[in-house]
Chain A
Amino acid sequence: MRRMKIVSVMLAVFMLSCSVLAGCSSGNSSNGEASDANKPANAAAGNANQPADAAADNGAPAKDAEGSGASAGAVKLDIIETGNNLPTPDKDFIKQAIDKAIQTDLNLTVYASGDDYKNQLNVRMASGNFPDLFQVPDRAALKQFVDQGLLLDLTPYMDKLQDVKGFIGDESLKKTTMGGDVYAIPKAPNIPYNTYWIRKDWLDKLGLQPPSTIDEFLNVTKAFAEQDPDGNGKKDTIGLTGSKFSTFAPIFGAFGVGDPNTFYVKEGKLVNSLYDPAMKDALAFIKKLIDTGAVDPEIMANTGLQHQEKAIKGQAGIVWIDWPNLSKDQFTEQIKKVNPNADWIQLAPPKGPGGQYDGPFDAGGTSGMYAIPKALENDKEKLQKVFDLLNYVSGTDGSQLVQFGIKGTHFNLEGDKVVPTDLMGKEAGFTWLYQFTGRPEMAYLQTKFAPQSKYIEFANSQPRIQILNGFLSNPDGYNPADATRFIEEEFVKFIYGKNPIAGYDAFLKTLEASMNFKTYMDASTKQLEDLGYGK
């Protein structure tokens, strides 16, 4: 009896689900029943073959505009990028304000993981389900998309993007130019954030001055590890920490070389740091530094914010890190709670034989670039709306909106000065997701991070080696993954004393012989010379 009951319940569920499924697929798709096994294949292949056609019925994900507050007749724009903390549309006041200002219905989707984003971007591209505006992950992706004819050439439309151009500056467009044409809009230029930070209270305790040369730097690092600066009677402190090779960025700088495998102009000539004669000296000094035993043995394994954690918990005395991760209110609070006496100050790059440079700054780097699919060419109305959007977030009102939030709610204007309200900190933490063309970096940070402004200034004003890697795209036949691995592995062997630095030239030979590095060097040199560097 009981069994019969279970049976009938199971059957009922199964039948119900069958009918729901059938209803679902016929309701949402013109391609017919799921049971017709051949049709999806044809449809799929068809889509792949005719992306332009498929793009015409772009709104494939049938979505309700519920709670979006968009007015009827608003143009729907699909935008995807990386990011997080985007609120749902009903709570998203930036979306609502933009929709109102330029009559759109924005549908922004953000992906927390860069890899997830790449996957999503690729399937959307492959299926002709193009977003109307999307972030291009990096230069390599830009090149690939351009080569495959996926991106709209923006050059002829530049007169329609006057506000954008004025906002980001003409020079910036170089970063997204391929073969003379502009294929994406880069964000307004950013500024460097990273410096060495050092424990002032530890220096005081040991009677030391902030180091100004690399030799002093070595001594301080050593003293921090050996002389018990935290006074707990245990030898449990680390002199220097950081993440990967960037830990030593200012040391490389002190020898006048950039980080491993970076291009820069030195004495009028284009140089790759690997071929810079000073590189060997820099490596020798770093080895000396590591030999003191005062450098975090796990710098190569530090990913994410592990080096920051070591600094905050009072284990490390010097760390190479960006100002937000050590001086934002959230972190200063933690630092004080762990040790009320802890006092972190920024350290100017120590001087060395090659000068005094903090970590390199990439002239070609951007904090993001946005492209429009070629398929949008045929949808003039939509294309115009995308331009409107880009111009709007670059203009005075729109830019203020995406930087600070709603005027009168999240900030007030006193003359030209933006004065944040309490609500800004509470509610407007996600507005950067809508900064498609970036922001005037310095003014923005000074407003949003007023207590940190001296750190921002400091990091920005340090001398840096200007590197050019952001302009490069890899040639065919060169596998950057293999080459990068080889370079990193060999460098680790040099600085940890597993291989003598005398073997450096042999390393370069192997690099050229087995990693096709010559091709890369030639192609890169040509690309940079075409842009006018080193000539």
Chain B
Amino acid sequence: MNRRTSVPSAHDPAAQPGVLSAFGRSIWRYKAFYVMLLPGLLYYIVFKYIPMYGVIIAFKNYNLMEGIWSSPWASPWNKHFLTFFESPYFSQLLTNTFLISVYKLIFGMVPPIAMALLLNECRIKWFRSLIQTLTYMPHFLSWVIIYGILLALLSQSSGLLNRWLEDAGGTAIPFLTSTSYFRSILVGSEIWQNLGWGAIIYLAAIAGIDPTLYEAARVDGASRMRMIWHVTLPGIRTVVIMLLILNLGHILDAGFEQIYIMYNVQVYAVADILDTWVFRTGLQQLNFSLASAVGLFKAAIGLILVLGSNKLAKRWGEGIW
């Protein structure tokens, strides 16, 4: 009783069961489900979909005074997209974004999965818990702090590592100002920051595996490697594929904050990405329309990848929907 009144029944989608079409009937049958969906849907509509009209400023010359609706349309309609496509740096930005993002996609997923597997194989309980906590901690350091640590370690003139190199008779390496190291450092520091944090989701997935499957494998005399291969990995397959699909949607987000803090003019050629360019070009000059246009471009590419990969995943019985 209590339970039924806890939801606003006025919004019950099937409050008028007068229309007895097959569709209406099936909706009526699942009414409890729709009631459950209601608070979430309300959230999505109010905070996500109502503001969505804001994307039209990508096609307008946005004027703060006149607002989103009344601002004049850009002419030509794709003016802000052209600013972006016609930038002399367009192809370089796209390449950098894509490369960094793909590296991060691979190294942002494989090490945490490996970490989760290793932790799962660790039989010493306190040690497992210790390592799990230690590797989780870097997640709470912001990129400003991490860059500070990187400087202390890698700086060409004063970094600890270069000091050791020099003491050992070598020459200092310009880690932070050389185009040949910069991307590795981006990816490396991301792995470091994300290793333990990223593993959490896979650990949860592993925890969800039916223990009887392991028992059965053990009875069959499977080795630990075989159990990982035949039980654990298939057990987290769904989550892995889902994360992969979702990450593909963000393929043009290569990590603005990290790069913005770490890059400098000497590595622009390999480090400047769409978001840093938009920041310098659009937001610092209050050009919201440009920022919105690039956002739309990124999202469109992301959508294509998500739809495509989801379709592909469905062939193996996975996929988000």
Cα distance, A291 to B266, chains bound together (Å): 17
Chain A 328-345, CB-CB to B under 8 Å as 1, else 0, gives 000000000000000000
State which size class the interface on B falls in: 35 or more
- Cβ-defined contact, B176 with A301, below 8 A: yes
Which of A378-386, A421-429, A456-464, A486-494 lies at the interface with chain B? Answer: A486-494
B89 within 8 A of A: yes
Chain A 105-121, CB-CB to B under 8 Å as 1, else 0, gives 00000000001001000
A11-B2, A141-B286, A298-B156 known; A49+B69 contact, CB < 8 A: yes
Residues of B within 8 A of A148 (CB): 63-66
B190 within 8 A of A: no
- Cβ-defined contact, B151 with A306, below 8 A: yes
B83 within 8 A of A: yes
A75 within 8 A of B: no
- Cβ-defined contact, A40 with B50, below 8 A: yes
Query: A40: which of B46, B155, B264, B285 is its contact (CB, 8 Å)?
Result: B46
B255 within 8 A of A: no
Query: B65: which of A149, A297, A300, A474 is its contact (CB, 8 Å)?
Result: A149
Q: Helix, strand, loop or mixed for chain B's interface?
A: helix
A150 within 8 A of B: yes
- Cβ-defined contact, B64 with A126, below 8 A: yes
Residues of A within 8 A of B3 (CB): 11
Query: Nearest B residue to A44 by beta-carbon distance?
Result: B50
A34 within 8 A of B: yes
A297-B174, A482-B87 known; A47+B67 contact, CB < 8 A: yes
B272 within 8 A of A: yes
Residues of B within 8 A of A474 (CB): 285
- Cβ-defined contact, A514 with B46, below 8 A: no
B158 within 8 A of A: yes
Which of B23-31, B115-123, B275-283 lies at the interface with chain A? Answer: B275-283
- Cβ-defined contact, A126 with B67, below 8 A: yes
Residues of A within 8 A of B65 (CB): 51, 125, 148-150
Q: Helix, strand, loop or mixed for chain A's interface?
A: helix
A479 within 8 A of B: yes
Cα distance, A179 to B271, chains bound together (Å): 40
Cα distance, A140 to B174, chains bound together (Å): 36
B11 within 8 A of A: yes
A34-B42, A140-B286, A482-B87 known; A297+B177 contact, CB < 8 A: yes
* Candidate in A150, A310, A482 with the most chain B CB atoms within 10 angstroms: A482
Query: B64: which of A45, A150, A484 is its contact (CB, 8 Å)?
Result: A150
Chain A 94-108, CB-CB to B under 8 Å as 1, else 0, gives 000000000000000
Query: Nearest A residue to B90 by beta-carbon distance?
Result: A482
Query: A481: which of B2, B45, B266, B281 is its contact (CB, 8 Å)?
Result: B281
B94 within 8 A of A: no
Cα distance, A64 to B158, chains bound together (Å): 52
B255 to chain A, nearest CB (A): 17
A214 to chain B, nearest CB (A): 23
A300 to chain B, nearest CB (A): 5
Query: A49: which of B46, B70, B176, B284 is its contact (CB, 8 Å)?
Result: B70
Interface residues of A in 1-55 (CB under 8 A from B): 8, 11, 14-15, 18, 34-35, 37, 40-41, 44-45, 47-49, 51
Number of A interface residues, CB 8 Å?
54
Residues of B within 8 A of A484 (CB): 280
Residues of B within 8 A of A479 (CB): 83, 87, 281
Residues of A within 8 A of B272 (CB): 485
B288 within 8 A of A: yes
A14-B6, A300-B266, A480-B285 known; A485+B89 contact, CB < 8 A: yes
- Cβ-defined contact, A310 with B158, below 8 A: yes
Residues of B within 8 A of A249 (CB): none
Cα distance, A481 to B89, chains bound together (Å): 11
Cα distance, A514 to B90, chains bound together (Å): 13
B268 within 8 A of A: yes
- Cβ-defined contact, B155 with A298, below 8 A: yes
- Cβ-defined contact, A492 with B265, below 8 A: yes
A49-B67, A486-B88, A488-B265 known; A37+B46 contact, CB < 8 A: yes
- Cβ-defined contact, B281 with A482, below 8 A: yes
Chain B 123-165, CB-CB to A under 8 Å as 1, else 0, gives 0000000000000000000000000000100011110000100
Query: A482: which of B2, B11, B50, B89 is its contact (CB, 8 Å)?
Result: B89
- Cβ-defined contact, A301 with B67, below 8 A: no
Taking A126-B67, A301-B264 as known contacts, 20 extra A-B pairs with beta carbons closer than 8 A to each other, sorted by chain A number, are A11-B2, A37-B46, A48-B68, A48-B69, A49-B69, A118-B284, A125-B64, A144-B285, A148-B64, A244-B265, A297-B172, A297-B174, A298-B177, A300-B266, A479-B87, A484-B280, A485-B272, A486-B88, A492-B265, A514-B88
A sample of 14 cross-chain residue pairs with beta-carbon separation below 8 angstroms, ordered by A number, consists of: A14-B6, A48-B68, A51-B65, A125-B65, A141-B286, A144-B285, A148-B65, A297-B177, A301-B176, A315-B157, A480-B285, A482-B87, A489-B269, A492-B266
In the A-B complex, the 10 residue pairs with the smallest Cβ-Cβ separation, listed nearest first, are: A48-B67, A481-B280, A481-B281, A301-B264, A125-B64, A488-B265, A148-B65, A41-B50, A148-B63, A297-B156
